[in-house]
Chain A
């Protein structure tokens, strides 16, 4: 273990909860802990903004629809589904970021 910053190393835990350092580090994460925290915050803020946009879109669409204006219904639905797809993509990336890869050989 040459790298002093071990915060991004995957800790090998036994079933009983003990850390087992033998043969470690065999796998690491793609980003350091600090980077992951920053990315997670960025994704969180982005997803939150998109959800707020969807809330506004939904209330505006419902208001227009109940008032008899149905021209905004389908564009609103498509925009909302696009926001959902984007959110799902970001969530997937969040899990992708946590995945481990084989550590480089020193």
Chain B
């Protein structure tokens, strides 16, 4: 049976195949046609990436809907006033057991609480009350103790603030404030 002849490729320099270097003779690709297909495939791939980004945006929007529908957080007792000395910190979990937070007492009347997760890469921040900051040991990020805003290092977003109410000598966490 006669072997079928493969159609000859058109070489970029126009010379016939037998005058081409060995590597091109081994892979006689019609470059002009090949490039066209590649470009079209690349556009197809980019459109796929575009679809992935649009899906990501919709996912964020879906999360936003779920966040709005979630029931408001209830008040939860976290500590007694007399148990938290001035200049000290107390750890608690709010709104659920996976969210570790810090309660800091800066003076007799002032209690502040923040989520302990650094907004950079979720390391646990540590209170430095005398320096009036919360410091992340992983990448030397720091946050202002009074506002939770980032003051140094890689974090760009503030720490989520826990709203507090003091009633009958007991400190209650009542909600989470996310700020930009």
Given contacts A44-B46, A70-B64, A73-B64, 20 further A-B contacts (CB under 8 A): A33-B32, A40-B39, A43-B43, A44-B42, A47-B46, A47-B50, A48-B46, A54-B53, A58-B53, A58-B56, A63-B157, A65-B63, A66-B119, A67-B178, A67-B179, A74-B61, A80-B54, A84-B50, A87-B50, A91-B44
Query: What residue of chain A has the Cβ atom nearest to residue B32's Cβ?
Result: A33
- Separation in Å of the A23 CB from the closest CB of chain B? 19
By the criterion CB–CB under 8 Å, are B158 and A67 in contact? Answer: yes
Q: Give Cα distance in the complex from A91 to B178, angstroms.
A: 41
By the criterion CB–CB under 8 Å, are A18 and B5 in contact? Answer: yes
- B177 near A: Cβ within 8 Å? yes
Q: Give Cα distance in the complex from A51 to B47, angstroms.
A: 8
By the criterion CB–CB under 8 Å, are B58 and A77 in contact? Answer: yes
CB neighbours (8 Å) of A62 from chain B are 56, 60
Total inter-chain residue pairs, C-beta < 8 Å:
110
Chain B residues with a Cβ under 8 A of chain A:
4-7, 32, 36, 39-40, 42-44, 46-47, 49-51, 53-54, 56-58, 60-61, 63-64, 67, 119, 156-158, 160, 177-180
Interface of B is mostly: helix
By the criterion CB–CB under 8 Å, are A73 and B180 in contact? Answer: no
- Separation in Å of the A32 CB from the closest CB of chain B? 13
- A55 near B: Cβ within 8 Å? yes
- Interface positions, chain A 16-73, Cβ under 8 Å from B, are 16-19, 33, 36-37, 40-41, 43-44, 47-48, 50-51, 54-55, 57-58, 61-70, 73
- A10 near B: Cβ within 8 Å? no
CB neighbours (8 Å) of B40 from chain A are 40, 94, 98
Q: For B5, B58, B61, which residue has the most chain A Cβ atoms within 10 angstroms?
A: B61
By the criterion CB–CB under 8 Å, are A63 and B156 in contact? Answer: yes
Q: Give Cα distance in the complex from A67 to B158, angstroms.
A: 7
- Separation in Å of the B28 CB from the closest CB of chain A? 13
By the criterion CB–CB under 8 Å, are B51 and A84 in contact? Answer: yes
By the criterion CB–CB under 8 Å, are A58 and B67 in contact? Answer: no
Q: Give Cα distance in the complex from A68 to B107, angstroms.
A: 28
Q: A18-B7, A55-B53, A62-B60 are in contact. Are A68 and B46 (CB under 8 A)?
A: no
Selected A-B contacts with CB under 8 Å, 25 pairs = A17-B6, A18-B5, A18-B7, A40-B40, A51-B49, A54-B50, A54-B54, A57-B57, A58-B56, A63-B157, A65-B60, A66-B119, A66-B178, A67-B157, A68-B160, A68-B180, A70-B64, A70-B67, A73-B61, A80-B56, A83-B53, A83-B54, A84-B54, A87-B47, A98-B40
